[in-house]
Structure 1
Amino acid sequence: MTAYTDTATDASLPAELLDFLPCPTPNRWVEAAMKNPALLMIDHAQCEKKAASTAMSLMFRYVDRPELLNKMSQLAREELLHFEQVINLMEERGIDYSHLQASRYAEGLRQHVSKQEPQRLIDTLIVGAFIEARSCERFARLIPHLDETLAKFYRSLVRSEGRHFEDYLSLAERYADRDGVKARIAEFGEFERELIESDDATFRFHSGVPAES
């Protein structure tokens, strides 16, 4: 898997996170984001809510894993706080919160998760790490193009999403041998690269390259 390279964000993102991602967000996605600020914020709110739901789901499924319970409980609370912050910013900007069809991204990764334990848990944690890492990278890509209020908020999210990425990755490495985790990260990295770099008919926070109209 070829490491991420993008000098626009290298200075603001942890090296471990940059090494983890297989590719940078294409410039065409950033351009589309700037043309669809309301849509971006609505989907961002939904992503925060889904992230909290994912953490809660892991807590209910793996009740015998105290380290997981502790980290996912903290993560769920933080994601819900982010959700509240996004919808408050939306209200200030006159953006109505409404339901959007989810992007293909998360489901595109999860379809490769093993159905057998304990690999199912490891794969789910790796997918969580990719989602958090990509979120962190996209916030960093957007910051230079935003007004000061939103840029300040996104800078705070870069720090927190970076911690979430580390939490998911450290849990995966705790419950499986490092070489096995590394191999699965490489596999999921190729799936993630395809989702990020290929044409996507629907613009969302985690969508691929906007298809040419």
Structure 2
Amino acid sequence: MQTLLAPIQQFLHCETPDAWVQKAKQPENLNALLVDHMICELKAAQTAMLLIRRYAVDKETGKALMDWLQPYKDYVFRKQGNLQSLANANGLSKNIEIKQGSPYAQELVDKMVLLIKEELHHFYQVVEIIEQREIQFGFIDSSRYAKALLSHVSTFEPNTLIDKLICGAYIEARSCERFAKIAPFLDQQLNKFYLSLLRSEARHYQDYLTLAEQVANNGKSNKDISERITFFGQAEAQLILSEDEDFKFHSGVPKML
């Protein structure tokens, strides 16, 4: 596991603070953490799908792809559907017609489709656990984390896409690091589950970085994105190390009441 985590730890600019781990391992916070984890898996799939929709396919195909995610959104936000309907929904294929004129569309589809399928499989696994434990959930506010990171994204292309991909890499890397952090303190079922997620989450962050490099190096000139990677790494670390009133999977240091 340490070999798997070493690149993640080098990529991130800080470790998860002990204060977050201490709160996460308290039994009374576990249900909230599981529900937020479920939401995070759905949002990860939505984010990847939005990238495909924006940069790789035409408008009609993009709408069809977003509609394909609807059963998952309905389960979370409308309390519609069940495990069986979710199990039958994840049939996304890489055989998507690519929009002409986009030099990195195929690479984007290839990596993001695999990511979406894995995130939704993880989503289903979390739902299984939530239903087994009869955990009830209502409306869930978004955390500040992703929104704050994305607030720094450039407003002109291709820098916008590059920045979004870098943000995706940090979100996936932090998820992987936190799974490893809390797994030793959880019951046998959750320990095994979170450790099983490490390999795919580690690959996801690398896929996002690879895509960012491909976009930056496409065309007549090569663009060095190391400064942007460092910038977002520092911004991400500031969010993780700063005091946070909310408690979520990607929240900062729990605020003392």
**1:134 — aligned with what?**
174
Instruction: Name the count of aligned residue pairs.
Output: 204
**1:148 — aligned with what?**
188
The alignment status of 1:30 with 2:18, answered yes or no, reads no
Mapped to 1, the partners of 2:19 and 2:134 lie a distance apart of 26
Q: CA deviation at 1:100?
A: 0.9
Mapped to 2, the partners of 1:193 and 1:206 lie a distance apart of 11
Q: CA deviation at 1:189?
A: 1.0
Aligned pairs (5 A) from 1:106-117 = 106-117=146-157
**1:189 — aligned with what?**
233
Asked whether the 8 Å contact 1:132–1:165 carries over to 2, the reply is: yes
Residue-by-residue CA offset, 1:152-193 (whole Å, 9 max, x unaligned)? 110111111111111101111111148722110110111111
RMSD, aligned CA: 1.4
Q: TM-score, normalised by structure 1?
A: 0.92
Mapped to 2, the partners of 1:24 and 1:119 lie a distance apart of 28
Mapped to 2, the partners of 1:24 and 1:37 lie a distance apart of 21
Residue-by-residue CA offset, 1:12-71 (whole Å, 9 max, x unaligned)? 643222111000000000111122000000000000000000010001011131000111
**2:54 — aligned with what?**
61
Bigger drift between 131-140 and 98-107 goes to 98-107
The residue type equivalent to 2:254 in the other structure is: P
Asked whether the 8 Å contact 1:125–1:168 carries over to 2, the reply is: yes
Aligned pairs (5 A) from 1:147-166 = 147-166=187-206
Mapped to 2, the partners of 1:180 and 1:29 lie a distance apart of 34
Mapped to 1, the partners of 2:11 and 2:166 lie a distance apart of 11
Asked whether the 8 Å contact 1:13–1:137 carries over to 2, the reply is: no
Mapped to 2, the partners of 1:169 and 1:58 lie a distance apart of 14
Q: TM-score, normalised by structure 2?
A: 0.77
**2:246 — aligned with what?**
202
Q: Pick one of 115, 131, 135 that aligns with 1:95.
A: 135
**2:5 — aligned with what?**
14
Structure 1: give runs of 5+ residues left out of the alignment: 1-9
The residue matched to 1:112 in structure 2 has which SS? coil
Asked whether the 8 Å contact 2:5–2:177 carries over to 1, the reply is: no
Q: CA deviation at 1:84?
A: 0.8
Mapped to 1, the partners of 2:19 and 2:214 lie a distance apart of 37
The residue type equivalent to 2:30 in the other structure is: P
Structure 2: give runs of 5+ residues left out of the alignment: 57-101
Mapped to 2, the partners of 1:89 and 1:69 lie a distance apart of 30
Q: Pick one of 38, 47, 57 that aligns with 2:40.
A: 47
Residue-by-residue CA offset, 1:109-131 (whole Å, 9 max, x unaligned)? 00000010000000000000000
